Amino acid sequence: MSELHHTSLTALAAGLRARRFSSVELVRACLARIDRHQGALNAFISVTREQALTQAEAADRALAAGEGGALTGVPIAHKDIFCTQGVRTTCGSRMLDTFVSPYDATVVRKLRAAGAIMLGKTNMDEFAMGSSNETSYYGPVRNPWNPALVPGGSSGGSAAAVAARLVPGATATDTGGSIRQPAALCGITGMKPTYGRVSRYGMIAFASSLDQGGVLTATAADAALMLREMAGFDPQDSTSVDRPVPDYLAALEQPLAGLKVGLLKEFFDKGLDPQNEACVREGLRVYEQLGARLTEVSLPHLPLSVPVYYVVAPAECSSNLARFDGVRFGHRCENPRDLQDLYRRSRGEGFGAEVKRRIMTGTYVLSAGYYDAYYLKAQRVRQLINADFIRAFQSVDVLIGPTTPTPAFAIGSKTADPITMYLNDIYTIGANLAGLPAVSVPCGFVKELPVGLQVVGPHFSEARVLQAAHAFQRVTDWHTRVPQGYA
């Protein structure tokens, strides 16, 4: 029993089906680990213990009857951005501190239908705006590799929970790198699918043309299994794509020989820490040994991706977060004088510093006189970046490079200057602007801290991207490393 937490999600699902252990045992083991490590990590905002145990009992009955889905009895956690009916859903914000969702996100519904059991809701940057998990109203999450460091963000709670082996998998969202960056900083696998692949229904909106749900797991195979169960068309999301979901898990074992890998010139820039670079280049050598052919490609407009993002994302955020008005749900100030006072003080008190900064940035770039110069201009440059990617994928199958410029940094070290923080996402934002699938896998260590390697593919090439990640993990063992104290 003691080794269950070191068993991969895929193996746990198989073990449950073979009745080698029960879901109740497994759920109890995970809950015990959450109890033991939550104080040090702060990875969870809510733990849904009773509900999880009741579901585990039901899962065991289903398994005994030979019924059940692909994930029956497997415990997971949901990022607290996904609405869960009857369970508090905060999005890491004081604004939603007491909000109990009246409905389930499609992702939550689908994973439950596949048999997965929710153990709780994970901590995150407020409204997913952050790269360090320091903007959460519920306090920062700590990196299991070193508690003085950030786990990355915004899906920092999900990443820390998986890295510390509290749960075998967790949902997450990625608007500018919020799955891949914490995966890299915590030494796990993080998969952001193509825009439109996973339903956004019930996933609290930040920047609607960029937001995409995905997974954080120990291995690429686990990501393939979870994603297969989460993905698919949803009429309740107007940008959901009506296209069949391939069996990502079954497609994993295809050989990589002949795979054309593009080495993105702009990713190996002066901002990249030389030791990080060494790990990623070593990873590229592994790909060569696996039979991949490497060529250098250039995406000339990519260096503008961070400025484009910090126009487009705040603009969409200022519009999306206009719904928080203190009237129908969410925080309301005391004794409002009039309606304007109610709006302004409820929002001023309910939102944290970074969220307010982005709402105001967005308000400014959308305001009369600045719309063309900033917002339309950014949308045009976005088109150029997208065209760069499309052109690159005419000559290569995937692009490989670093996920982040550096390993995890100290809590508090980048909070004073927003631009320094924003530049953490310099290698991840491009995939969001173009809507491409991308995965981060562990590829080495710098000063005992994990480093991530990123694989980006063309639209709807999740199977190919996951194959590339899986092939790497078959011949390396970085993804099996567990932080000290979490064995």
Residue among 155 and 305 whose Cβ is closer to another protein? 305
What CA–CA distance (Å, rounded) separates 173 from 203? Answer: 9
Residue of the chain from 379, 406, 413, 476 that contacts another protein (CB under 8 A): 379
Q: Considering only the stretches 27-35, 359-367, 406-414, 468-476, report the one whose residues sit in contact with another protein under the rule CB under 8 A.
A: 359-367
Q: Annotated catalytic residue: which of 23, 79, 240, 461?
A: 79
Instruction: Point out the catalytic residue in the list 178, 199, 208, 461.
Output: 178
User: Does residue number 412 form part of the binding site for another protein (CB under 8 A)?
Assistant: no
- Residue 275 makes contact with another protein by CB under 8 A: no
Q: Which of residues 317-336 bind another protein (CB under 8 A)?
A: 318, 322, 325-332, 336
Q: Is 377 one of the binding residues for another protein (CB under 8 A)?
A: yes
Q: Does 421 sit near another protein (CB under 8 A)?
A: no
Instruction: Rule CB under 8 A: choose which of 81, 184, 381, 439 binds another protein.
Output: 381
Give the CA-trace dihedral at 187, 189, 190, 193, to 10 degrees.
Answer: 160
Q: Write out the binding residues for another protein, residues 76-105 only, by CB under 8 A.
A: 98-100, 102
Q: Which one of residues 419, 447, 477, 487 is an interface residue with another protein (CB under 8 A)?
A: 419
The tokens for 156 are 């920092």
> Which residues, numbered 292-321, are part of the site for another protein (CB under 8 A)?
301, 304, 306-308, 310-311, 318
| 49 scored as a contact of another protein (CB under 8 A) | no
**Residue 154: active-site member:** yes
Of 167-226, binders to another protein (CB under 8 A) are 195-196, 209
- Shortest distance, CB of residue 418 to another protein, whole angstroms? 5
Q: Which of residues 45 and 161 has its CB atom nearest to another protein in the complex? A: 45
Q: To the nearest whole angstrom, how small is the minimum distance from the Cβ of residue 473 to another protein?
A: 28
* Nearer of residues 212 and 219 to another protein, judged by Cβ: 212
Residues that are catalytic: 79, 154, 178
